[in-house]
Structure 1
Amino acid sequence: MNIYENKRAFLYILPALAFLSIFVFVPIILNFYNSLYEWNAFSIEKVFVGLDYYQRLFTDPVFYTSLKNNVLYAIISLICQVGGGLVLAAVLEEKFIRKFQPFFRTVFFIPSILSLAVVGLLWKMIYQPNIGIINEFVRAIGFTNFSFSFLGNSDTAIFAVIFVSQWQYTGYITMLFLVAMQKIPRELYEASMIDGANRFRTFFHITVPQVKEMILVAITFTMVGAFKVFDEVYIMTGGGPGHATEVLGTMLFNSGFRNDEMGYASAIATVLFIITITLSFIQLRLSKTGK
């Protein structure tokens, strides 16, 4: 490739590079810069504090509670969304159910296109102890005095919130796996049937290896999403009761927009960015696919 072709190729990628620089790279750098200063939304001047906010963050018990909840969120999401989605997709690809696949694809995919605000408010009403559907159902089957606040109990609140995300996004991950499975050559399955392989052996020795690239995409998408979660937690519990459902996203929001500690919020955002980008790189390295 000569110099002229190099310049022409650079011109093609220049718009994308400029877009990424303005809306991704520059904000990341500015955020780290802001985390080194004490400032708020109404301050004219910034006071340099260096790494004080990072030192404060790593000694803050709320940070570790939030991090623990994010990790729990990620583990359950990997099991339910990636594991459950893979199994669901394999079931939908079975011959006996394939003719009903369009119906199930629609049903499973609809939750993922709903607004997070709508989903949060909907499930907040479902969990409501007095008029919520769950409590009403339990009372209807004979437990007349049953009234449990799923979101008001510190032992169950985080699991109630996590369940909502599984309900919303498992179908989306299932659709990704369905797309990947439909590209697998039918000859492989026919050969396995001739060799006498059962459904379980076929699933683990043909389906899973053939969709490993999509598994990587699903894991990355799910892990990053679990650490970036904010909307449903904020709408349903606001991080409460106490800090039982606090995640890094709500901690960041509360620090910046409720306590007006923008420098501290910037430090939380920087740590959150480091966590998500590290997870992405680790998964890419472990996959060893080169893609």
Structure 2
Amino acid sequence: MPASLGDKLVVAISSRALFNLEEENRLFESGDSEGYMRLQFERLDVPAQPGIAYQLVQKLLRFNDDGNERVEVVILSRNDPVSGMRVFRSGGAAGIKLQRGVFTQGRPPYGYLRPLGAHLFLSVNAEDVREALNAGFPAARVLVESVKASDAWPNEVRIAFDGDAVLFSDEAERVFQSQGLDAFQAHELSKATLPLPGGPFKPLLAALHRLQKAGNANMRIRTALVTARSAPAHERAIRTLMNWNIKVDEAMFLGGLPKGEFLREFEPDFFFDDQTGHVNSAAQHVPSGHVASGISNVG
């Protein structure tokens, strides 16, 4: 029978999101693509250093340690195939099992998310992330300037999500931006029992929920909802998750307080937010990704 990824959590990730290739990328951005390829070939046996999403990937793949292949990580990159050899070798040197990769040599790679059945796409390229989101895939632009993940929780994959325009649709955020906080609170209170439509990252949260239930004695997933909502608007968010039959381990309703220090306490391997101000602030404390969806990213 042909190989299939249908029963796995599939993470597609670019080379620069997984490894620190910023020095090499500066050469590529200068227009010297041949020099870039030559440098990557010269460094074929020099393992690239960990990138911002490295620990997230490393931990997710530990769900396979008992012999059950529950997670697949696929390199999906604008890199050339020669540079791809270094990426695979770097993964091998780090003990990260990478079996599959697509290298498009400068062309947009997001079209391959569909045949992969990807549950998440992480890239440093903003255009690729936006197109992936438009195609219906959870995707985030990795901030390479982010702080690296803490190593305090080796047996937990910790992921934090913003709510509106990330886990949920931007329905309520549109009310807030057009009519203000009081109207937003009144809107959410009046609709407290009506589940919010799903946002772009609902499929990832559901896939993580399935992975957790599939079980691994040595690894678990811990999730957190970190939102600017406050009471009484908290109730609709909680009821929505209950309606989806998906639990989060922690929920932080911060009422507009800066998220960074709360995230630093939670110590996620990754945090996803749709607003650039929030995600830039969070990147000073934890690995962060910008989800270019919803009303805050129009225009």
User: Considering the TM-score relative to the shorter chain, is it more than 0.5?
Assistant: no
Report which of the two has the higher share of strand: 2
Considering Cα pairs closer than 8 Å and 6+ residues apart, tell me whether 1 or 2 has the greater RCO.
1
Measured against the shorter chain, the TM-score band is under 0.3
Give the alignment's TM-score, normalised by structure 1. 0.22
Computing the radius of gyration over CA atoms, which structure comes out larger, 1 or 2? 1
